Amino acid sequence: MQFYIDIDEGSFIAGWLAPDNPGIIPKVKVVCPDREELIIEASVIRADIKDAGLHNTGQVGFQVDTSLVPDLANQPDIEILDAATDIQIYHRNDTDRHVQTKLVYFDASLMPQNKIYRTLNSRFAMNYNFVERHAFDTMACLINAGYMQSVILTGRPYLSRYIGHFKNKGFFTSVLVSHPIEELAERILFIQLLGKSNAAHLLPTFMTGFEALTDFAINLDIENEKALNTAFRSAKPEVKAALSNPMVRIMGCQPGEEPERRHLGLALDNLSTVDAVGMRERFSEFKGLLAGLLGADVLGEHMMAVSPAVTDLADRLAGIGAVSNLLEYDLVLHSYVEDAIENALTEETAE
C-alpha cells in the first residue's frame, strides 16, 4: 500500500491511496474526536498514479472538505486512515504540541510497554507501531512522505535494509537493546499469557518473524528446568530458526537471511551509525540521552517494567546450554553494547 497527502489548506485536505490490490477502489476513514466516523470512497482520477503502475484505473484520489466536516479548519486532531487496514495516512501536526522530529524508536521486544508507547505516540502527530508488519512499499512511503514532519516509527524493522533510507530522509534513529536471555523469557511468557487468554486472536499482531514460536512457547513447562532443557534441545528446525539470534537477525541480516558470525559485525556496523543506543537495563540513562539529543522528553516519567516472572524464567534459561547456543551472537552483541555504553558513561562522568 502507498499513499500521500498533497495538501492541507485548513478547510480542504486532498491526497491519494493506492492499495496493494491495484484493481480495488480504495476507501478512507475520516476520524474527528467526538464525531461519527466517515467512510469515503476515492473519487478523483489520478493519471500520474496509474501511469506509475500503482493502480489499474487511477481512481485513488480523495478529498475532505467542509461538505463532509463543516468545521474542518478547526479540527486539530482530524485523522485519515485506510478504511481497509486502519493504517494512518494523516494526522494534523500541531507545532505547539508535537515534537517536530522524525524518530525511529527500535525495540526488538515482543511485549509492548504500553505506558511508554502511549507517551511516545502522544508526542508525535503521526505514529506507526510494529512497523515490521509493513511491506517495503509501505515503509518506503512512510520514510519518503515529505508532509510528515512529526512522526515516530516503532518496532523492529531490518536495520540493514532501512538504516540508509532513514539517514537519507533525516530520521533520528534510536535503538533499545535487551539482554538476549531476558528478552527470550519475556517473549515466552508473553506468548503464553496472550495465547491462553481470550485475546489469543491478537497474537499475530505481535508475532511477525516469530510465528513458529507460538505452539512451542505455549506448551513449555516453564517451571521445570529439565523439561525446558529437553524442549530446547529437541525443538523443530523452524522453531530453532525463530529462536536463533533475533537481535543480530534484525540488526545485521537482510530479510530471508539466517544469522551467521559475519552478521554480528554487520549488526555492530549498523549500530555504529545509530544516533542513540541504549539498554533496557539502563533505561533511565537512555531516556536522558534521548531527551538531550532531541531537545524534548519523549518518554515521559514511566520506567521499563520487568516482571519477576521474567527474571525467574531468565535465570532458568541461562543455565541451559541449548539456549546459550541459540543466542550466541546476540550475547556477544549485547556484551559489546554494554561495554560501549559503560565506557561512554565513564568518560562523561570523568569530564
- Residue 128 is placed in which grid cell? 506507526
Q: 147: Cβ–Cβ under 8 A, 6 or more apart, which residues?
A: 4, 5, 8, 90
Q: Are 207 and 198 in contact (CB under 8 A)?
A: no
According to the model, what pLDDT value does residue 350 have?
A: 64
According to the model, what pLDDT value does residue 176 have?
A: 94
Tell me the C-alpha distance between 166 and 160, whole Å: 11
Structural domain spans, the chain: 1-92, 181-282+301-350
According to the model, what pLDDT value does residue 346 have?
A: 76
Q: How many residues make up the chain in this entry?
A: 351
Other CB atoms within 10 Å distance of the CB of residue 131: 21
- Spans of the chain, pLDDT less than 50: none
According to the model, what pLDDT value does residue 204 have?
A: 80
According to the model, what pLDDT value does residue 109 have?
A: 80
162 φ, ψ to 5°?
-115, -15
According to the model, what pLDDT value does residue 254 have?
A: 94
According to the model, what pLDDT value does residue 79 have?
A: 96
According to the model, what pLDDT value does residue 314 have?
A: 95
CATH topology of domain 1-92: Immunoglobulin-like (2.60.40)
- Please give the model's pTM, rounded to 2 decimal places: 0.91
